[in-house]
Amino acid sequence: MTETEIPEDHPRYASLVTRHRIEAGVERGITSKQGLIAQGRGEAFDYLLGERTLPSADDAARAAAATLLLADRPVISVNGNVAALAPGETVELAEAVGAELEVNLFNHTDERVRRIADHLREHGADEVKGLAGDGEIPGLDHARGVVDADGIEAADVVVVPLEDGDRAAALDAMGKTEIVVDLNPGSRSPRTADVPIVDNLLRAVPNVTAHAEDLADATPAELERVVDEFDADAALDAAEGAIREGSFADADAA
Protein backbone atom coordinates (compact mmCIF):
# COMPACT_ATOMS: atom_id res chain seq x y z
CA MET A 1 0.00 0.00 0.00
CA THR A 2 1.35 3.44 -0.98
CA GLU A 3 0.68 6.78 0.74
CA THR A 4 -2.00 7.65 -1.79
CA GLU A 5 -3.74 4.31 -1.24
CA ILE A 6 -4.23 4.82 2.51
CA PRO A 7 -7.92 5.61 3.15
CA GLU A 8 -8.28 8.98 4.88
CA ASP A 9 -10.85 7.54 7.29
CA HIS A 10 -8.31 5.04 8.61
CA PRO A 11 -7.91 5.69 12.38
CA ARG A 12 -4.11 5.75 11.98
CA TYR A 13 -4.10 7.67 8.70
CA ALA A 14 -1.68 10.43 9.76
CA SER A 15 0.70 7.95 11.35
CA LEU A 16 0.69 5.64 8.33
CA VAL A 17 1.28 8.52 5.92
CA THR A 18 4.23 9.66 8.04
CA ARG A 19 5.76 6.19 8.02
CA HIS A 20 5.40 5.95 4.25
CA ARG A 21 7.11 9.31 3.79
CA ILE A 22 10.08 8.22 5.88
CA GLU A 23 10.25 4.90 4.02
CA ALA A 24 10.13 6.73 0.69
CA GLY A 25 12.87 9.05 1.93
CA VAL A 26 15.13 6.08 2.63
CA GLU A 27 14.39 4.63 -0.81
CA ARG A 28 15.24 7.99 -2.45
CA GLY A 29 18.49 8.24 -0.52
CA ILE A 30 17.60 11.39 1.39
CA THR A 31 16.80 9.78 4.76
CA SER A 32 19.16 7.49 6.65
CA LYS A 33 18.01 4.15 8.03
CA GLN A 34 18.63 5.57 11.51
CA GLY A 35 15.91 8.09 10.66
CA LEU A 36 13.38 5.26 10.83
CA ILE A 37 14.29 4.68 14.47
CA ALA A 38 14.14 8.39 15.28
CA GLN A 39 10.69 8.61 13.70
CA GLY A 40 9.41 5.71 15.78
CA ARG A 41 10.69 7.28 18.97
CA GLY A 42 8.99 10.58 18.18
CA GLU A 43 5.74 8.87 17.26
CA ALA A 44 5.64 7.20 20.68
CA PHE A 45 5.75 10.61 22.39
CA ASP A 46 3.14 12.00 20.00
CA TYR A 47 0.84 9.11 20.84
CA LEU A 48 1.08 9.99 24.53
CA LEU A 49 0.41 13.64 23.72
CA GLY A 50 -2.83 12.54 22.11
CA GLU A 51 -1.52 13.44 18.64
CA ARG A 52 -2.58 17.04 19.12
CA THR A 53 -1.01 20.47 19.35
CA LEU A 54 -1.07 21.58 22.97
CA PRO A 55 -1.91 25.22 23.77
CA SER A 56 1.66 25.58 25.06
CA ALA A 57 3.00 24.31 21.72
CA ASP A 58 0.83 26.80 19.87
CA ASP A 59 2.21 29.58 22.08
CA ALA A 60 5.71 28.35 21.25
CA ALA A 61 4.92 28.34 17.53
CA ARG A 62 3.76 31.97 17.76
CA ALA A 63 6.91 32.94 19.67
CA ALA A 64 8.98 31.12 17.06
CA ALA A 65 7.29 33.06 14.27
CA ALA A 66 7.93 36.37 16.03
CA THR A 67 11.56 35.40 16.68
CA LEU A 68 12.11 34.55 13.02
CA LEU A 69 10.46 37.76 11.82
CA LEU A 70 12.75 39.78 14.11
CA ALA A 71 15.89 37.92 12.98
CA ASP A 72 18.52 39.45 10.72
CA ARG A 73 19.83 36.14 9.31
CA PRO A 74 17.50 33.24 10.12
CA VAL A 75 18.38 29.76 8.86
CA ILE A 76 16.29 26.59 8.90
CA SER A 77 18.42 23.47 9.26
CA VAL A 78 17.14 20.49 7.25
CA ASN A 79 18.03 16.85 7.82
CA GLY A 80 16.84 13.73 6.03
CA ASN A 81 13.71 13.23 8.11
CA VAL A 82 12.62 16.85 7.70
CA ALA A 83 13.16 16.62 3.94
CA ALA A 84 11.10 13.44 3.74
CA LEU A 85 8.30 14.52 6.07
CA ALA A 86 7.68 18.19 5.33
CA PRO A 87 9.65 19.52 2.34
CA GLY A 88 6.94 21.81 1.00
CA GLU A 89 5.91 23.01 4.44
CA THR A 90 9.53 23.82 5.31
CA VAL A 91 9.99 25.79 2.09
CA GLU A 92 6.78 27.72 2.82
CA LEU A 93 8.03 28.60 6.31
CA ALA A 94 11.33 29.84 4.92
CA GLU A 95 9.48 32.05 2.45
CA ALA A 96 7.13 33.40 5.12
CA VAL A 97 9.96 34.56 7.41
CA GLY A 98 12.74 35.26 4.90
CA ALA A 99 14.94 32.40 6.11
CA GLU A 100 17.67 30.45 4.35
CA LEU A 101 17.49 26.65 4.07
CA GLU A 102 20.61 24.65 4.84
CA VAL A 103 21.08 20.88 4.69
CA ASN A 104 22.95 19.62 7.76
CA LEU A 105 23.41 15.88 8.31
CA PHE A 106 24.94 13.60 10.90
CA ASN A 107 25.35 10.79 8.35
CA HIS A 108 26.78 13.17 5.77
CA THR A 109 27.69 12.48 2.17
CA ASP A 110 27.83 15.06 -0.59
CA GLU A 111 25.42 12.91 -2.59
CA ARG A 112 22.80 12.93 0.19
CA VAL A 113 23.12 16.70 0.55
CA ARG A 114 22.61 17.13 -3.20
CA ARG A 115 19.61 14.81 -3.21
CA ILE A 116 17.98 16.67 -0.32
CA ALA A 117 18.70 20.05 -1.93
CA ASP A 118 17.16 18.83 -5.19
CA HIS A 119 14.15 17.48 -3.26
CA LEU A 120 13.62 20.87 -1.60
CA ARG A 121 13.91 22.62 -4.96
CA GLU A 122 11.28 20.25 -6.35
CA HIS A 123 9.03 21.60 -3.58
CA GLY A 124 9.64 25.25 -4.39
CA ALA A 125 12.98 26.24 -2.84
CA ASP A 126 15.13 28.64 -4.85
CA GLU A 127 18.42 28.28 -3.02
CA VAL A 128 19.56 25.59 -0.61
CA LYS A 129 22.81 25.80 1.33
CA GLY A 130 24.88 22.99 2.77
CA LEU A 131 27.35 21.92 0.09
CA ALA A 132 29.99 24.63 0.55
CA GLY A 133 31.08 23.36 3.96
CA ASP A 134 33.35 26.36 4.47
CA GLY A 135 32.21 27.09 8.02
CA GLU A 136 32.00 25.22 11.31
CA ILE A 137 30.13 24.78 14.56
CA PRO A 138 32.97 24.67 17.14
CA GLY A 139 32.93 21.71 19.50
CA LEU A 140 31.36 19.18 17.14
CA ASP A 141 33.72 16.50 15.86
CA HIS A 142 31.21 14.82 13.56
CA ALA A 143 29.87 15.96 10.18
CA ARG A 144 27.18 18.19 11.64
CA GLY A 145 29.92 20.56 12.73
CA VAL A 146 30.58 21.38 9.07
CA VAL A 147 28.26 24.16 7.85
CA ASP A 148 28.22 26.98 5.34
CA ALA A 149 29.99 30.14 6.45
CA ASP A 150 27.20 32.31 5.04
CA GLY A 151 24.51 29.97 6.37
CA ILE A 152 24.29 28.44 9.83
CA GLU A 153 27.66 29.85 10.93
CA ALA A 154 26.52 33.42 10.19
CA ALA A 155 22.91 32.98 11.37
CA ASP A 156 21.52 34.79 14.38
CA VAL A 157 18.47 32.49 14.62
CA VAL A 158 18.58 28.78 13.74
CA VAL A 159 15.58 26.49 13.48
CA VAL A 160 16.58 22.96 14.49
CA PRO A 161 13.70 20.61 13.63
CA LEU A 162 13.91 17.21 15.30
CA GLU A 163 16.19 16.39 18.17
CA ASP A 164 19.97 16.73 18.07
CA GLY A 165 21.21 17.53 21.56
CA ASP A 166 24.92 18.03 20.97
CA ARG A 167 24.37 20.35 18.03
CA ALA A 168 21.79 22.32 19.99
CA ALA A 169 24.30 22.77 22.81
CA ALA A 170 27.07 23.78 20.41
CA LEU A 171 24.86 26.33 18.65
CA ASP A 172 23.87 27.72 22.04
CA ALA A 173 27.56 28.10 22.91
CA MET A 174 27.96 30.14 19.70
CA GLY A 175 25.29 32.54 20.95
CA LYS A 176 22.67 31.52 18.42
CA THR A 177 18.98 31.90 19.20
CA GLU A 178 17.51 28.43 18.69
CA ILE A 179 14.03 27.25 17.81
CA VAL A 180 13.67 23.50 18.27
CA VAL A 181 10.84 21.18 17.22
CA ASP A 182 10.94 17.99 19.30
CA LEU A 183 8.30 15.65 20.69
CA ASN A 184 10.38 14.73 23.75
CA PRO A 185 10.29 17.55 26.32
CA GLY A 186 13.08 15.82 28.26
CA SER A 187 15.54 15.87 25.37
CA ARG A 188 18.57 18.17 25.51
CA SER A 189 17.49 19.95 22.33
CA PRO A 190 14.27 21.57 23.59
CA ARG A 191 15.82 22.14 27.00
CA THR A 192 18.63 24.10 25.33
CA ALA A 193 16.34 26.01 22.97
CA ASP A 194 15.15 29.57 23.44
CA VAL A 195 11.86 28.48 21.85
CA PRO A 196 11.08 24.77 22.28
CA ILE A 197 8.08 23.56 20.27
CA VAL A 198 6.97 20.19 21.65
CA ASP A 199 4.85 19.05 18.75
CA ASN A 200 4.84 16.85 15.67
CA LEU A 201 6.88 18.41 12.87
CA LEU A 202 3.95 17.99 10.47
CA ARG A 203 1.77 20.15 12.72
CA ALA A 204 4.44 22.50 14.03
CA VAL A 205 5.97 23.80 10.80
CA PRO A 206 2.66 24.87 9.15
CA ASN A 207 1.58 26.32 12.49
CA VAL A 208 4.67 28.53 12.72
CA THR A 209 4.04 29.62 9.13
CA ALA A 210 0.43 30.49 9.92
CA HIS A 211 1.52 32.58 12.91
CA ALA A 212 4.19 34.29 10.79
CA GLU A 213 1.56 35.26 8.23
CA ASP A 214 -0.68 36.55 11.02
CA LEU A 215 2.18 38.61 12.45
CA ALA A 216 3.50 39.82 9.10
CA ASP A 217 2.31 43.40 9.69
CA ALA A 218 3.25 43.55 13.38
CA THR A 219 5.71 46.19 14.52
CA PRO A 220 9.08 45.16 15.99
CA ALA A 221 7.78 46.18 19.41
CA GLU A 222 4.74 43.94 19.02
CA LEU A 223 6.93 41.03 17.90
CA GLU A 224 9.27 41.55 20.82
CA ARG A 225 6.31 41.48 23.18
CA VAL A 226 5.24 38.09 21.80
CA VAL A 227 8.75 36.75 22.35
CA ASP A 228 9.09 38.24 25.84
CA GLU A 229 5.75 36.82 26.98
CA PHE A 230 6.73 33.28 26.01
CA ASP A 231 7.99 31.09 28.88
CA ALA A 232 10.11 28.20 27.60
CA ASP A 233 10.25 26.40 30.96
CA ALA A 234 6.48 26.60 31.34
CA ALA A 235 6.01 25.19 27.82
CA LEU A 236 8.27 22.23 28.60
CA ASP A 237 6.51 21.62 31.91
CA ALA A 238 3.11 21.70 30.19
CA ALA A 239 4.24 19.15 27.60
CA GLU A 240 5.72 16.85 30.22
CA GLY A 241 2.55 17.12 32.28
CA ALA A 242 0.40 16.23 29.26
CA ILE A 243 2.53 13.13 28.62
CA ARG A 244 2.52 12.01 32.25
CA GLU A 245 -1.19 12.63 32.74
CA GLY A 246 -2.36 11.30 29.37
CA SER A 247 -3.88 7.92 28.78
CA PHE A 248 -4.04 5.43 25.95
CA ALA A 249 -7.78 6.08 25.83
CA ASP A 250 -7.07 9.74 25.07
CA ALA A 251 -4.55 8.78 22.40
CA ASP A 252 -6.96 6.38 20.73
CA ALA A 253 -9.55 9.10 20.55
CA ALA A 254 -7.16 11.54 18.90
Three state DSSP letters for 108-170: CCHHHHHHHHHHHHHCCCCCCECCCCCEECCCCCCHHHEECCCCCCCCCEEEEECCCHHHHHH
Q: Please give the Cα distance from 182 to 79 (Å, whole number).
A: 14
Q: Please give the Cα distance from 86 to 186 (Å, whole number).
A: 24
CB 203 within 8 A of CB 67: no
**What are the tens digits of pLDDT across the range 19-45?**
667 776 667 777 766 656 666 566 778
pLDDT bucket at 66, cuts 50 / 70 / 90: very high
pLDDT given for residue 99 in this prediction = 98
pLDDT given for residue 219 in this prediction = 98
Phi, psi of 165 (to 5 degrees): -60, -45
pLDDT given for residue 148 in this prediction = 95
pLDDT at residue 248 is higher than 90 = no
Q: Is the dihedral of CA 165, 126, 90, 12 positive or negative?
A: negative
- Can you tell me the mean pLDDT for 170-195? 94
Lowest mean pLDDT among 2-11, 30-39, 157-166: 2-11
Q: Delineate the domains of the chain, giving CATH numbers in brackets.
A: 55-245 (3.40.50.12640)
3-state secondary structure of 179: strand
CB 125 within 8 A of CB 102: no
Quick one: what percent of the chain has pLDDT higher than 90? 62
pLDDT given for residue 69 in this prediction = 98
pTM: 0.87
Q: Please give the Cα distance from 55 to 79 (Å, whole number).
A: 27
- Can you tell me the mean pLDDT for 95-112? 91
Residue 100 parent element (H or E): strand 100-103
pLDDT given for residue 211 in this prediction = 98
Query: How confident is the prediction for the chain on average, in pLDDT?
Result: 87
pLDDT bucket at 17, cuts 50 / 70 / 90: low
pLDDT given for residue 165 in this prediction = 80
pLDDT given for residue 1 in this prediction = 47
